[in-house]
Amino acid sequence: MSEHDAAEDALERLEWNDARRGHPSRALQLTRRGALTGAAAGLAATMLDACGSSAALASAKSPKTQTANGSAAALYGISGGYRFSFVSHALNNIFFTPTINGIQDACALLGCSYDWVGSNNSSVAAVAQAINGAVSAAVDGIATTMISPALAAPVAAAMDAGIPVLTYNADDPTSQRLAYVGQDLLASGRAMGAQIRRLVPPGSRIVVFICTPGLANVAPRLAGIEQALHGSGIAVLSQASGASVNQEQTTIDAFVGAHLDNYAGYFGVDAGSTMAIALAIENNGLRGQVHGGGFDLTPDTERLLADGTIQFTIDQQPYLQGFLPTLQLFLYRASQRLSGPADVDTGIRILDRHTIRPYATTSSRYAGTATNVGVQKA
């Protein structure tokens, strides 16, 4: 893409966003176009200098170091080289693909490296062990999913050792972590409950699938749904679906197949459950007969939302949950603790069969559906 094309692409995105909110003045449009066009060369040069080559990225499970070609040194007076540990409760879950992409991209910009460690099945003990291992390795910063209050102790040990800790995706604000980057989980559950209330008539029964009941990455969403549906006349059955995507698909498909006429809707509070619900409705020929919805963006969820098999999904921007903690940990170190940690709410973006189209018709690292830079037509 040429420098001019990059500016035009940015302009089109801004103007499309304006169209959603009401048309800006002609003067604003002209000013924006001139500014973007005039700044294109400098912006493109800066970004290309920071990013370096487009060589293939290494596996997320291995430490990855990329040099920022002097940009980090010029801006911050350092040459990079920080090593961060990202601890996850679901290392192989498709949800975290864009999160890993965000970590990789931030490390490429800043000349840092990272480890992707933790648990494959939401084991609190394994997450705690990974945090303790990062402390023993004397990494420069840790970002972890805070799925249980039991993780407060290893987080405190890391902070006591002088290692900054951020949380992402799931949080415990009573712990010693410095900041949280992720969705407001209770509020997102309430938003989902409001969507269900619009879809499902009073007197109906629904099932809400939850991958790991009681854990802090999903339990607040279920609580929010129950709060929003209180007094609605809609009966809610919560059902555990499993800690891995394969478990979720098997469990949910079997449940839906065994209860074809029993429930008015099936909903999930995590990426795997939502995808499994959409596939189960499709596999059992229930499109148009039951309602469905949930969280996050996987290729199957996008496809089956776009064709009306389910009615909504809620995006929480997982790419930002990798990119922003890396940036914050870097700034905390580079500024000698003067800047960096800040809570960031990555939002509650409710998508229906119309607003999902920009996602369903493209592939990108931001959505975890491509490895190439930029956004491509699917």
66-104 pLDDT per residue, tens = 444 447 777 888 876 999 999 999 999 999 999 999 999
Domains of the chain: 3-51 (no CATH), 64-183+317-347 (3.40.50.2300), 185-315 (3.40.50.2300)
Please report the pLDDT score of residue 147 as a whole number. Answer: 98
Alpha-carbon 321 to chain mean position: 6
Higher per-residue pLDDT: 49 or 369: 369
pLDDT band, residue 315 (cuts 50/70/90): very high
Place of tokens 């975290």: 96
Using the predicted structure, report yes or no on whether residue 186 has a pLDDT greater than 50. Answer: yes
Q: What percent of the chain lies above the pLDDT cut of 70?
A: 81
Sign of the Cα torsion 45, 68, 167, 239 reads positive
Asked whether residue 367 carries a pLDDT value surpassing 90, the answer given is yes
The separation between CA 286 and the C-alpha centre of its own chain, rounded to angstroms, equals 29
DSSP secondary structure letter of residue 50: H
The tokens describing 160, both together, are: 């006591």
In whole angstroms, what is the distance from residue 226 CA to residue 236 CA?
Answer: 8
What is the distance between the alpha carbons of residues 234 and 118, in angstroms, rounded to a whole number? 38
Alpha-carbon 1 to chain mean position: 27
| pTM reported for the whole predicted model | 0.82
Lowest mean pLDDT among 53-57, 107-111, 124-128, 205-209: 53-57
> By the 8 A CB rule, do 320 and 346 touch?
yes
Going by C-alpha positions, the residue among 248, 271, 224, 240 that lies closest to residue 99 is 271
